[in-house]
Amino acid sequence: MKMESPIKRRKSRQIYIGKVAVGGDAPISVQSMTNTNTCDVEATVAQIRRLEAACADIVRVSVPSMEAAEAFRQIRAQVNVPLVADIHFDHKIALKVAEYGVDCLRINPGNIGREDRVRAVIDAAKDKNIPIRIGVNAGSLEKDLQRKYGEPTPEALVESAMRHIDILDRLDFQDYKLSVKASDVFMAVAAYRLIASQIEQPLHLGITEAGGLRGGTVKSSVGLGMLLMDGIGDTIRISLAADPVEEVKVGYEILKSLKLRSKGINFIACPSCSRQNFDVIGTMNELESRLEDVTTPLDVAVIGCIVNGPGEAKEADIGLTGGTPNNLVYVNGQKDHKVQNPELVDHLENLIREKIALKEQQDKDLIARA
Ligand code: SF4
């Protein structure tokens, strides 16, 4: 039996980052951030294209200078994915990228300074329908809040967020999303839980500076897992000291594991042991890398022997159970045919691709009939 996700999502106001809806009943979006020099247009466009190919819904780009804003203009013209410009302090940069077609401004109103400058940014955002992301981070908490709380705490993060929110409220601007990030899992989770009950805007989740690929993935999965289980979270970014494409892959894996999104192949594979009748790990590595381009959801079970093989294979779209002299392939939960070890990977790849093509055709027929 397969269980449905029991998660009931928090009802949030919906905003649009370009064509991507965030909040409300929109799928939880996965975003990442470029780590190239924004002024190197060619390298940044290439990285954004790799992120698009990995199915990033939204990409954030740092725009730290006017020179970078000019580069942003060229970058914008060459990619399709919605772009968020990450700006600190300088309202002139925000106005420039708004003019050049940014899809979201990541800027904290309280950091802009003079009232007329804040108003100018908000007027431009209103005029061009550009939402704002308020991003509060435990590592850059205001000095007076650090003094008041002694150290970053969930309450301090929320108080900081509320200052920025108050400014937007005063200017009657509600199209924003918010993050209250910390590298400490408990602090981030507590801060998000606190703020989730106080505002209706969508929440951008992340465990900031989570670490390298392995540690950061685990930390992010644990932190975001707790929040997502509470129904909190409308868009996510996994912060890894790694290739940004990995952030997108990990983001999807987290959402897939909670059945909040489906994308590509959901592999069910055993860890293997001396009972394995084929090289489970080698087969999995090969299949994962060969099938990285697949975006249509499909459950594939790769199990080394009959201990758990038939049970898992019956629940999958395609299942493989190791056996001697032949391995058994299940299709749609039914025993279908046998295959020998030397042909295993090629055979499974072809079978999966045929099944995907069939599924895609069926989906198209359904849409055409609707
Ligand atoms: S399914 Fe079989 S091969 Fe895989 S770990 Fe379990 S006992 Fe070992």
DSSP labels for 215-282?
HHHHHHHHHHHHHHHTT--SEEE---SS-HHHHHHHHHHHHHHTTS---SEEEEE----TT-SS-HHH
Q: What is the pLDDT of residues 250-280, one digit of tens each?
A: 999 999 999 999 889 999 999 999 999 999 9
Tokens of 57: 């819904």
pLDDT reported for residue 256: 94
pLDDT reported for residue 21: 98
pLDDT value at 370 more than 90:
no
Cβ–ligand 1 contact at 273 (below 6 Å): yes
- Cα of 307 vs centre of ligand 1, distance in Å, is 6
Query: Can you tell me the mean pLDDT for 208-231?
Result: 95
Query: Can you tell me the mean pLDDT for 109-114?
Result: 88
- Cα of 278 vs centre of ligand 1, distance in Å, is 11
Q: Is 55 annotated as a binding residue?
A: no
Q: How far is CA 142 from the centre of its chain?
A: 28
Instruction: Give the relative orientation of helices 213-229 and 244-257 as an angle to the nearest 10 degrees.
Output: 40
- Cα of 303 vs centre of ligand 1, distance in Å, is 7
- Write down the mean pLDDT value for the chain: 95
Tokens of 281: 């790990």
Instruction: Give the relative orientation of helices 185-196 and 154-170 as an angle to the nearest 10 degrees.
Output: 40
pLDDT value at 39 more than 90:
yes
Pocket test for ligand 1, best of 284, 308, 312, 327 (most atoms within 8 A of CB): 308
- Cα of 251 vs centre of ligand 1, distance in Å, is 28
Q: Which atom of ligand 1 is nearest to the CA of 308?
A: 1
Q: What is the pLDDT of residues 67-106, one digit of tens each?
A: 999 999 999 999 999 999 999 889 999 999 999 999 999 9
Tokens of 363: 């989906």
**Helix %, strand %, coil % of the chain (to 5):** 45, 20, 35
- Cα of 344 vs centre of ligand 1, distance in Å, is 17
- Domains of the chain (ranges, CATH numbers): 15-257 (3.20.20.20), 265-369 (3.30.413.10)
Cβ–ligand 1 contact at 311 (below 6 Å): no
pLDDT value at 348 more than 70:
yes
Q: Is 305 annotated as a binding residue?
A: yes
Report the nearest-CA residue for atom 2 of ligand 1: 305
Q: Which residues contact residue 290 at a Cβ distance below 8 angstroms, ignoring those fewer than 6 apart?
A: 345, 349
Q: For the chain, give the percent of residues with pLDDT over 70.
A: 100
Q: Residue 145 corresponds to which amino acid?
A: L
Q: Which atom of ligand 1 is nearest to the CA of 304?
A: 3
pLDDT reported for residue 367: 86
Q: Residue 70 corresponds to which amino acid?
A: E
- Cα of 309 vs centre of ligand 1, distance in Å, is 8
pLDDT reported for residue 248: 97
Cβ–ligand 1 contact at 81 (below 6 Å): no
Q: What is the pLDDT of residues 305-337, one digit of tens each?
A: 998 888 999 999 999 999 988 999 999 999 999
Q: For the chain, give the percent of residues with pLDDT over 90.
A: 88
Cβ–ligand 1 contact at 307 (below 6 Å): yes
pLDDT reported for residue 1: 67
pLDDT reported for residue 363: 86
Q: Is 104 annotated as a binding residue?
A: no
Q: Is 292 annotated as a binding residue?
A: no
Q: What is the pLDDT of residues 121-157, one digit of tens each?
A: 999 999 999 999 999 999 889 999 999 999 999 999 9
Cβ–ligand 1 contact at 270 (below 6 Å): yes
Cβ–ligand 1 contact at 272 (below 6 Å): yes
Cβ–ligand 1 contact at 310 (below 6 Å): no
Structural contact between residues 80 and 52, judged by C-beta atoms closer than 8 angstroms:
yes
Cβ–ligand 1 contact at 303 (below 6 Å): yes
- Cα of 313 vs centre of ligand 1, distance in Å, is 13
pLDDT value at 44 more than 90:
yes
Query: Can you tell me the mean pLDDT for 189-204?
Result: 97
